[in-house]
Amino acid sequence: MNALLIYPKCPETFWSFSHALRLIHRKAAQPPLGLLTVAAMLPAEWKLRLVDLNVTGLNEEDLGWADCALVSGMIVQRDSAHQVIARCKRAGLTVIAGGPLFASEHEQFEDVDHFVLNEAEVTLPPFLSDLERGAARRIYRSAEFADLHETPIPLWELVDHRQYASMGIQFSRGCPHRCEFCNVTQLFGHRWRTKTAAQVIAELDVLHGLGWRGIVPFVDDNLSGSRASLRNQLLPALIEWRKGKSGFSFSAQVTIDLADDEPLMQMMARAGFDTVFVGIETLEEMSLGECNKQPNRNRDLLEDVRRMQRAGLEVQGGFIVGFDSDTPAIFERLAEFIQASGIVTAMVGLLQAPVGTSLHERLRRENRIGDCVSGNNADGTTNIIPHMGLACLQGGYRRLLEDLYSPPKFYRRVRTFLREYKPRRTGYALQCSDIGTFFRSFYYLSIAGKERLRFPGLLLWTLLTRPRVLPAAFGLAVYGYHFRKCYESLVDPGSSVPEAARVEGPR
Ligand code: B12
Ligand code: SF4
């Protein structure tokens, strides 16, 4: 069997990094880890080609070579997925689809021959054995969750790593919490399941062997799901593995209560973690209660963020506006908090209710739900009818974004962060490609962009006052450029934002 593994095109979103990728000369943020994991589970005699449409095109030669196509994707890739599936069908290929897009809305893809839904560790083996017997069904799904000890090493050999800004890796799936708006537990359950530390090290060895050096995000939805596993298994193994190896830095998604555990944060920094994404969501105690965000309740969130930064972890924050308990005062409160905390990368979205979440269920009962979500949780669209009124919510949202990502506010925030930040890792191995990145960034930010002297001013200030964090200052400015461009297209009514990304109410 000759198989194409196809990852549809991603539109511009907050985490697509598209504007920054242009500056660092990479084509996509990360390779599709789900497809690479599936690739490793296919029969050894199958011949495989990966076609990540964010990096390359799908050509006629590929279509002529292949017998089947395995397609993955998220909801934001819906349009591209429809197009690519139609092309594969026209070329006579058998189409097999899986991943979060199809788990949510497989019934909209009539052309697909076989849906292999949920975790492939569970659903792929029965599909493959039925396929071999010539008796494959249309849908394979399971309510059972996979044992990650069975998960193979992703087939990274299929990608050209030079096209990507980072290489994701996964230790755990699932989350013990029950936030009302979150679809993670619906996809991966409440039980925090992990690979062994040895599996993770074997994966890192492969990445190292393939020549990858750079950022390795742990894509786990909540890496701090069990602090004991981190402390006793994963982190000691990473600390040991990094001895004598340089050029790797890790990031992770964690809950804010990690700030209570100073030794664990220190250990993470020693293991090579330099960035954590934290779902702070809101500052309103009532809203935290309403959405059941237990780890965040009754805390001094500002002090928590600073403790993490002092431990050597850059904190990126996720925020949501539009909870039932929110009043119009929330926008200013959030703007002040984000500015004071030095959270440079602040992703703010309107509350949305993906199908299958308890929020969707509650709002459906209250008759306050529209049809589907856009799949982009930070594009200013929502499928709910907010208590505040849609116009008020959207107006406040636009003003908040305009304020946060205006160059003066943004660069002030970077400095606030750099003053607090105590990175463990110092020094940076300069590569030839960095020279091009520097000149491109200078052109796009200072000459063609709106930052003017703020960008070189930041670099000079950092060089003179805190030279150790110069690489961080540069990186933040480059990624900040993307976030600003991305939000500008939302707040500027005259811009050429695609219709799907405009602020809409429920239909
Ligand atoms: C890493 C990650 C990213 C990365 C990399 C994405 C990439 N290139 O793969 C980045 C940061 C770029 C990203 C961006 C976004 N992301 Co994201 N991301 C994730 C995250 C945390 C991990 C994905 C991953 O690698 N998992 C590990 C692999 C092994 O698991 P998997 O992909 O689920 O694959 C398994 C099964 O699904 C299945 N499978 C998957 N594909 C296929 C295909 C076939 C044929 C078969 C048989 C099986 C199969 O088998 C695999 C093994 O069990 C997930 C959450 C999660 N826990 O999955 C969110 C998630 C996928 N992202 C999400 C969203 C919303 C986004 C953004 C829109 C956010 C934003 N506002 O910007 C953007 C959009 C992307 C863009 N424009 O570029 C949502 C998608 C929701 C949905 N139903 O579509 C998720 C589920 C988070 C969430 N809880 O809502 N993301
Ligand atoms: S802590 Fe994060 S991953 Fe866990 S349920 Fe809440 S929002 Fe989802």
Residues 401 and 323 in one domain: yes
CA 499 to ligand 2 centroid distance, Å: 30
Spacing, Cα 1 to ligand 2 middle (Å)? 39
- Do 170 and 134 share a domain, yes or no? no
Co-location of 15 and 70 in the same domain: yes
Number of the ligand closest to the Cα of 223: 2
In a domain, residue 147? The reply is no
Does the beta carbon of 462 lie inside 6 Å of ligand 2?
A: no
Q: Are 100 and 242 found together in one domain?
A: no
How far apart are the C-alpha atoms of 241 and 205, rounded to whole Å? 9
State pTM to two decimals.
0.94
Quote the CA–CA distance of 350 and 331 in Å, as a whole number: 12
61 and 177 share one domain: no
User: Is 161 within the bounds of a domain?
Assistant: no
Q: Is the CB of 166 under 6 A from ligand 2?
A: no
Look at residue 473 and tell me if it is in a domain: no
Secondary structure letter of residue 169 according to DSSP: B
Paired strand residues for 69: 4, 95
Task: Verify that 338 and 222 share a domain, yes or no.
Answer: yes
Range of the domain at 258: 166-419
Distance (Å) from CA 178 to ligand 2 centroid: 7
pLDDT, tens only, 91-150 = 999 999 999 999 989 999 999 999 999 999 999 999 999 999 999 999 999 999 999 999
- Is residue 288 exposed (0-12), middle (13-18) or buried (19+ Cβ within 10 Å)? buried
**For the domain that residue 363 is a member of, what is the CATH number?**
3.20.20.70
Query: Probe ligand 1: pick from 14, 219, 360, 374, max atoms within 8 Å of CB?
Result: 219
Domain end (from 380, 402, 419): 419
Ligand number with the minimum distance to the CA of 189:
2
> Which residue, by CA, sits nearest to atom 60 of ligand 1?
74
In a domain, 241, yes or no: yes
- Give the distance (Å) from ligand 1 centre to CA of residue 327: 32
**Dihedral of the alpha carbons of 399, 403, 407, 410, in degrees to the nearest 10:** -140
Give how many domains the chain has, as a whole number.
2
In a domain, 480, yes or no: no
**How high does pLDDT run on average in the chain?**
92
Q: Quick one: which of 169, 255, 256, 266 has its CA closest to 215?
A: 169
Give yes or no for residue 302 having a pLDDT over 70. yes
Structure tokens at 227: 């602090």
- What pLDDT, on a 0 to 100 scale, did the predictor assign at position 492? 63
Q: Give the domain CATH number at 127.
A: 3.40.50.280
Q: Do 83 and 117 share a domain, yes or no?
A: yes
Could you tell me which residues come within 8 angstroms of residue 69 by beta carbon, excluding any fewer than 6 positions away? 3, 4, 5, 6, 84, 85, 88, 93, 94, 95, 96
Answer yes or no: is 501 within a domain. no
User: What's the rounded Cα separation, in Å, for the pair 212 and 387?
Assistant: 48
Cα-to-centroid distance, 88 and ligand 1 (Å): 22
CA distance 501 to 381: 7
Which residue type occupies 204? L
Mean pLDDT of 240-259: 94
